[in-house]
A and B are shown apart, each in its own frame.
Chain A
Amino acid sequence: MTASSLSSNALTRDDRRFGFRLTAPAGILLAVLLLVPTILTILYSLHDVPANGRSLGPFVGLENYTIVLGSSVFWRSAWVTFLFSVGFVVLSTLIGLAMALLLNQPFIGRGLARALLIIPWATPWLMIGILWKWFADGSVGGLNAVLLMIGATSDYHDFLSDPNSALAITIIAAVWRQASFAGILLLAGLQTLPGDLNEAASLDGANLWQRFRNITLPWLRPALVTVTVLNVIYAFLQFDVIFAMTQGGPGDATQVLSILIYRQLFGVTQIGLGSALAVILGFVALAGGLITVKLLYARGSQPA
């Protein structure tokens, strides 16, 4: 069967109806769970919606967007979101890749190590936040004990009370989970890599780096694109870990856009402003994902 034989032109009316029936349940589910809330959020963002939600309230056009984009609180939060996202995406992808490469090598206890990789991924984001809050605690946290033991520090530090280290620790906590997810996907990709490719390259005199650069990495490209795009989206939408660890503090040091949205929508119930923020964040996450895909595929299309 060729691709052209599957084109819509070749499908009979009955085939198209059958296809429509097959996809209809998923389509309806998506419409209800995704499309309706999206449309509502956009509608809310154009109104001054009362907290009780009994009506849309007066139409205000783009006023909510003007308020959001004219606020230094928004831009500060956007900058924090950007910093968090860069750290999260880069670290979780690289660490995930490193873990996948390591767990693809034969060694005693590899099965156990692979099983352990699942644990962070199986732990809910909120639990990760609570665990890391205690781990990073300045008085009783294990992180200080570890750093003291390896000689990286000479005294206990209150990481979550310092604006710079608080952001870094929230990134590390979120990466701890997401890297295992990246590792699992990339390991699955590595396991499909035929062993004779690397053997042939070795016989031709390729060193470890050359084999990684020219064989492993191109082979993993589809999985890497998926992982990176998901990481970008997870980064922009991250909420639970940061909220559990710092609630956006100290000050506004870790107040990413999702926390600002939570505060506006559910705390002070300014539904219109919160919805405008949500729409903006949605576009940013979508754009981030699309740009990542474009960049990765553009790089992949270049001759090796």
Chain B
Amino acid sequence: MKTRDTAKTVSGGLDRRAFLKAGGASAMAALLAPGLAGRAEAAGFTGSLDMLAWDFQPDTIKTLVGEWTAKGNPTVNVAVIPNLGYSPALQTRLRGGDAIDLYYNFAYNSQKFIDQGWASKLNGLPGVDDMVGDMFESARAAYVNAAGDIISAPYFSAVHMMHYNQRMLGDAGIAAAPQTLKEVYDASKTLKDKNVVASPYVAYWVKEFCEEYLHTYLLNEGVTAFDAAGKPVFADDPKTEGVFEWWQAMYQDGLAPKSVLNDDPGKLSNQMAQGEAAFFVLHHYFLSSIRSLGGPESAHVMQGPIGGTNHTFQIGEVLQLGAGEDPARREAAWDLMKFYGWKDSAGKFSVFNQWAKAAGLAAPYPGFFTDPDVIAAFPDYYDLPLISKTFETGSKVVPARTLPWYPDFQAKVGDVVHALLLGQATPKQTVEALTAAANAAQKGRSL
């Protein structure tokens, strides 16, 4: 959640102004020439829709839905709440009977929300099969469950990438960005020993985010943590223990700062920008944060694939359609959802294009990466073909993450991984503890 906070802090002000200008221009155009503003997408509904989002660039959200309304569609009441605690707040609202037509959600919550009757399946809605068909094959399982139910649409997508400081590597005599875990360890040790940087490796190792790193590093070693049925197959793969040994060594040997257990990604991006760290693995769009901070080392920070296998974790948070039963309202909400999570009525990725400009966010559609507007929206320092290729063939979504028991497992990973990093548990014990956590989550009711 905090990842998006950071990007907001970093790039919010300037982009917000740009978007407000764009929004104003769109609204003016719509007022002057309603007939030219595009066809009304939700003509049958005359009320207003309710949308809930977390507070990443709230002005942009309002501008975007404003553009949709300006095309003759219903007005949208956008409520924005903090991302820290978004999921508990959303669940409390829905449990209390709030009828929300469209809302942001975390992918790992999506099937649970369907099962609880808080969100609708999208099957059968006009255009939904085309939307799914437009997606990268690798991304589809995040939005379509094993039974074929379409449970959500993309809000944004990202792939985990390695950010590294090229100048520092050069100063330490390291010719190329390290690839394997051992190479990253050795390079970090060299950078530390040569006093290039005291704590070369930073990671977003706060409790709630450890689960994403689990998948990122396991996939990098060729291990998909869960099979399609949700069985924790990572427990049977010796490479899992190797990953945990590496994590523990990086932390215990002082190659990562002690504070990473609590640091938010804004601080980590700043450490990269200021030259206080040389390596940072996180979503690709953090390059925008690091570069736009304008620190003395910002321009030296590059992006590349994690490890030599070019297998990483593809993440993306989602939009879910509320469970309202009024057909006209539901149709209008679906039109808004398509606009926000796929394409506008002209077939353009206009919303994703704005998010790309604002913070380097991506969409899980191959067409997104070939759209000239999108290509123009990404700053030059991005290797867009590399990101596109990573989406296409170098990343996975881990379908088990959307299973209804998964949020329970997700909540437990942080405690276990922190115990490993702090040296309170061995890698072997960590594998056992995570396996037990996964099994307990699937069994139901456990702490």
What is A's interface to B at a CB cutoff of 8 Å? 48, 50-54, 63-64, 67-68, 71, 73-74, 133, 137-139, 158, 160-163, 246-252, 255, 260, 262-264, 266-270, 272-273
Query: Known pairs A270-B445, A273-B447. 19 more at Cβ < 8 A?
Result: A50-B116, A52-B117, A53-B95, A64-B445, A67-B447, A160-B261, A161-B259, A163-B424, A247-B208, A249-B206, A249-B262, A249-B414, A250-B207, A250-B261, A250-B418, A262-B88, A263-B411, A266-B92, A267-B407
Produce 1/0 per residue, B350-376, CB < 8 A to A: 000000000000000000000000000
Q: Is the CB of B87 within 8 A of A160?
A: no
- Docked Cα-Cα span, A115 to B218, in Å, equals 56
Residue pairs across A and B with CB atoms within 8 Å: the count is: 100
Distance between Cα atoms of A269 and B258 in the complex (Å): 32
CB of B118 within 8 Å of the partner chain: yes
Q: B-side interface residues toward A, CB under 8 Å?
A: 85, 87-89, 91-92, 94-95, 112, 116-118, 206-208, 257-262, 267, 407-408, 411, 414-415, 418-419, 421-422, 424, 444-447
Cross-chain contact B118 with A52 (CB below 8 angstroms): yes
- Nearest residue (CB) in A for B407 is A268
A139 touches B259 (CB 8 A): yes
Is A67 touching B418 in the complex (CB atoms < 8 A)? no
Q: Is there contact, CB below 8 Å, between A255 and B262?
A: no
Whether B88 and A74, one on each chain, are in contact in the complex, defined by CB atoms closer than 8 angstroms, is no
**What's the minimum C-beta distance from B219 to chain A, rounded to whole angstroms?**
24
Q: Are A269 and B259 in contact (CB under 8 A)?
A: no
Q: Is the CB of B418 within 8 A of A251?
A: yes
Bound CA–CA A13/B91 (angstroms)? 50
In the complex, the answer to whether B91 meets A51 with C-beta atoms within 8 Å is yes
Chain A residues, Cβ within 8 Å of B415: 73, 248-249, 251-252, 255
Contact pick for B259, options A160, A163, A255, CB 8 Å:
A160
A162 (CB) vs chain B CBs: closest residue: B258
Contacts of B267 in A (CB 8 A): 139
By a CB distance below 8 angstroms, the chain B residues around A52 are 94-95, 116-118
CB contact between A250 and one of B91, B411, B422, B445 (< 8 Å): that residue: B422
Minimum CB distance partner of B441 in chain A: A268
| Bound-state Cα–Cα, A260 to B411, Å | 11
Provide the residues of chain A in CB contact with B258, threshold 8 Å. Answer: 138, 158, 161-162
Q: Judging by beta carbons under 8 Å apart, are A251 and B259 in contact?
A: no
Q: Return chain B residues, CB-CB under 8 Å to A273.
A: 445-447
Structural contact, B422 and A269, CB atoms closer than 8 A: no
- In the complex, which residue of chain B has the Cβ closest to the Cβ of A67? B445
Q: Which residues of A contact B421 (CB under 8 A)?
A: 250
CB-nearest residue of chain A relative to B85? A266
A161-B260 CB under 8 A given contacts A247-B206, A251-B418, A270-B445: yes
Q: Which residues of B contact A260 (CB under 8 A)?
A: 447
Q: Which residue of B lies closest to A270 (CB)?
A: B445
B447 adjacent to A269 (CB under 8 Å): no
Chain B residues closer than 8 Å to A137, beta-carbon distance = 259
CA–CA, A273 and B444, complex, Å? 11
